[in-house]
Structure formats: structure tokens, C-alpha cells
Amino acid sequence: MEQPTRWYLLLSYWILIASVLYLVHGVSTFPLNVLALVGLTEIILNPNNQLLSKNLVITLIHTVPFLWIPYDMSRNAFNFAGAIIFLYLLFITFMKRSPIDIYQTLLLEKHVDFNDFICERFDFCGDYLFSG
């Protein structure tokens, strides 16, 4: 059985965290946020993805940083983007995983409901989550 795709294995979450930390490091993550928009294709490419709630989370993760990240295409912003990508690839290598395998698995995931999605992505499981 394939391991579930955890949040820390996805570059989009690294970009989101770097964007949230903009107030601390002061370097625009704009180039990374533009790159993260590619992640929205999961909504289209994943034939198993029919959960509106999951699609909403995916859309928010990839677009909400544009609310506070300034447009900046400077050398400093690109250097920072390169450093984040390098650290991500180093981490993935340390985890003995391949980005290609991670994203292929991501596109094959099928979640029965939002709880299942949260449980697999964040390893935060429980019957009480988001139940009516």
C-alpha cells in the first residue's frame, strides 16, 4: 500500500509556510507563489478528486499568499526561491522519497470525505473531525 501524501512532502506547503513567515524574513516569495499555482492543476488532473472541501483547501493553499506577498521579481526573491526549493529537495532526499513518486501518488489519491483527506494529509485522525 502506498504511503499517504503528508503535507510536509508537498512543495506547496513549504511555499505557504515561507509566505506566512514573510513578516519575519522580509523576502518576497512571489516567484514561489507563482510556481505554486501549478498545484491547482491537481483539481483538474486528479480524476478521483470530487470533494468540494478538498478542492477549496487546495485552492486556498495555492492562492491566499497573494493577499500579503508583494510582487517582487528581484535577484533576492529568486535566490530565496531557489534556497527553498533546494531545501525541499534535500529534505525529500533525506526522507528517501522522489518528488515524481510523491506527486504521482498525490494524483491517484481518493478520499471518501473531508475527514479522510485531513487524516491522510495531516495525520490528524478522529471520527469527531468535521462531523455534523
Q: Per the domain annotation, does 1 fall within a domain? A: no
Q: Which tens digit of pLDDT belongs to each residue from 94-122?
A: 999 999 998 888 888 888 888 888 888 88
Q: Does some domain include residue 127? A: no
- Asked if residue 76 has pLDDT above 70, the reply is yes
pTM: 0.83
**Is 61 domain-assigned?**
yes
Full residue range of the structural domain in which residue 20 is found: 7-122
Tell whether 72 is covered by a domain.
yes
Residue 116 included in any domain:
yes
41, three cell numbers: 492543476
- What is each CA distance from 83 to 50, 77, 79, 98, 129, in whole angstroms? 35, 10, 6, 18, 36
Mean pLDDT across the chain, nearest whole number?
86
Residue 132 lies in a domain: no
Q: Does residue 88 form part of some domain?
A: yes
Is residue 128 included in any domain, yes or no? no
**Domains in the chain: how many in total?**
1
